[in-house]
Amino acid sequence: MREVAIIGIGQTPVGEHWDRSLRVLAFEALSAAMRDAQLERIDALYVGNMLSGELTGQEHLGALIADFAGLRGIEAMKIEAACSSAAAALRVGYIAVAGGIHDIVACVGVEKMTDQQGSVATSGLATAADAEYEALHGLSFVGINALLMRRYMHEHGYKKEDFANFAINAHRNAVNNPNAMFPYPISAQQFAEAKPIADPINLLDSSPIADGAACVILAPLSMAREFTDKPVRVRAIAVATDTVALHDRRDPLYLEGAAISAQKAYAAANVGPSDIDLFELHDAFTIMSALSLEAAGFARRGRGVALALEDEISVRGRIPITTMGGLKARGHPVGATGLYQVVEVVQQLRGEAGANQVPNAQLGMAQNIGGSGATVVTTILERI
Amino acid sequence: MREVAIIGIGQTPVGEHWDRSLRVLAFEALSAAMRDAQLERIDALYVGNMLSGELTGQEHLGALIADFAGLRGIEAMKIEAACSSAAAALRVGYIAVAGGIHDIVACVGVEKMTDQQGSVATSGLATAADAEYEALHGLSFVGINALLMRRYMHEHGYKKEDFANFAINAHRNAVNNPNAMFPYPISAQQFAEAKPIADPINLLDSSPIADGAACVILAPLSMAREFTDKPVRVRAIAVATDTVALHDRRDPLYLEGAAISAQKAYAAANVGPSDIDLFELHDAFTIMSALSLEAAGFARRGRGVALALEDEISVRGRIPITTMGGLKARGHPVGATGLYQVVEVVQQLRGEAGANQVPNAQLGMAQNIGGSGATVVTTILERI
Q: Do B60 and A95 touch (CB under 8 A)?
A: no
User: How far is Cα A103 from Cα A4, in angstroms, rounded to an integer?
Assistant: 9
Q: Do A241 and B82 touch (CB under 8 A)?
A: no
Q: Is A156 a catalytic residue?
A: no
The pLDDT score that the predictor gives to residue B356 is 98
Pick from B50, B99, B131: CB nearest A57: B131
The pLDDT score that the predictor gives to residue B116 is 87
What CA–CA distances, in Å, run from A111 to A188, A189, A194, B163?
31, 32, 27, 41
| Type of residue found at A133 | Y
**Residue of B370, B282, B237, B114 whose CA lies nearest to A78:** B370
Q: What is the mean pLDDT of chain B?
A: 97
Q: Which of B83, B102, B215, B282 is catalytic?
A: B83
Q: Do A374 and B73 touch (CB under 8 A)?
A: no
Mean local confidence (pLDDT), A53-57: 95
Contacts B99 to A, Cβ<8 Å: 1, 95-96, 98-101
Q: Please, is A274 exposed, middle or buried when counting C-beta atoms within 10 Å of its C-beta (0-12, 13-18, 19+)?
A: exposed
Residues B257-293 have pLDDT tens digits of 999 999 999 999 999 999 999 999 999 999 999 999 9
Write down all domains in chain B, each with its CATH number in brackets.
4-117+210-232 (3.40.47.10), 138-204+234-383 (3.40.47.10)
Q: Alpha-carbon torsion A313, A315, A316, A318, what sign?
A: positive
Mean local confidence (pLDDT), A166-177: 98
| Type of residue found at B255 | L
Indicate the helix (H) or strand (E) that contains A267: helix A256-269
Residue B157 gets the label, from left (phi > 0), alpha (psi -120 to 50) or beta, of left
User: How far is Cα A8 from Cα B217, in angstroms, rounded to an integer?
Assistant: 34
Residues A8-35 have pLDDT tens digits of 999 999 999 999 999 999 999 999 999 9
| Type of residue found at B341 | Q
CB burial string A188-221: b at 16+ within 10 A, e below: eeebeebeebbebbbebbbbbbbbbbbbbbbbbb
Q: Do B127 and A101 touch (CB under 8 A)?
A: no
Residues A116-144 have pLDDT tens digits of 888 899 999 999 999 999 999 999 999 99
- Evaluate whether ipTM surpasses 0.95: yes
Mean local confidence (pLDDT), A32-58: 97
Which of the 8 DSSP states describes residue A326? I
Give how far B365 is from chain A: nearest CA, Å. 19
The pLDDT score that the predictor gives to residue B20 is 96
For chain A, the residue count is 384
Q: Alpha-carbon torsion B146, B148, B151, B152, what sign?
A: negative
The pLDDT score that the predictor gives to residue A118 is 83
Whether pTM > 0.95 for this model: the answer is yes
User: How far is Cα A55 from Cα A123, in angstroms, rounded to an integer?
Assistant: 10
Q: Which of A93-102, A109-118, A292-301 has the lowest mean pLDDT?
A: A109-118
SS3 of chain B? CCCEEEEEEEECCCECCCCCCHHHHHHHHHHHHHHHCCCCCCCEEEEECCCHHHHHCCCCHHHHHHHHCCCCCCEEEEEEECECHHHHHHHHHHHHHHCCCCCCEEEEEEECCCCCCHHHHHHHHHHHCCCCCCHHHCCCHHHHHHHHHHHHHHHHCCCHHHHHHHHHHHHHHHCCCCCCCCCCCCCHHHHHHCCEEECCEEHHHECCECEEEEEEEEEEHHHHHHCCCCCEEEEEEEEEECCCCHHHCCCCCCCHHHHHHHHHHHHHHCCCHHHCCEEECCCCEHHHHHHHHHHCCCCCCCCHHHHHHCCCCCCCCCCCECCCCHHHHHCECCCCHHHHHHHHHHHHHHCCCHHHCCCCCCEEEEEEEECCCCEEEEEEEEEC
| Type of residue found at B319 | I
- Find the closest chain B residue to A78 by CA distance: B80
User: Is residue B210 a contact partner of residue B16, using CB atoms and an 8 Å limit?
Assistant: yes
The pLDDT score that the predictor gives to residue A117 is 86
**Residue of B57, B162, B159, B43 whose CA lies nearest to B105:** B43
Q: Is B83 a catalytic residue?
A: yes
Give how far A121 is from chain B: nearest CA, Å. 12
| Type of residue found at B340 | Y
Residues B235-251 have pLDDT tens digits of 999 999 999 999 999 99
Those residues whose C-beta lies under 8 Å from the C-beta of residue A282, and which sit 6 or more positions away, are A83, A84, A288, A289, A292, A327, A337, A341, A367, A368, A369
Those residues whose C-beta lies under 8 Å from the C-beta of residue A356, and which sit 6 or more positions away, are A173, A176, A177, A315, A323, A324, A348
User: How far is Cα B287 from Cα B290, in angstroms, rounded to an integer?
Assistant: 5
Q: Which of A83, A102, A107, A171 is catalytic?
A: A83
User: Is residue B196 a contact partner of residue B142, using CB atoms and an 8 Å limit?
Assistant: no
Give how far B242 is from chain A: nearest CA, Å. 5
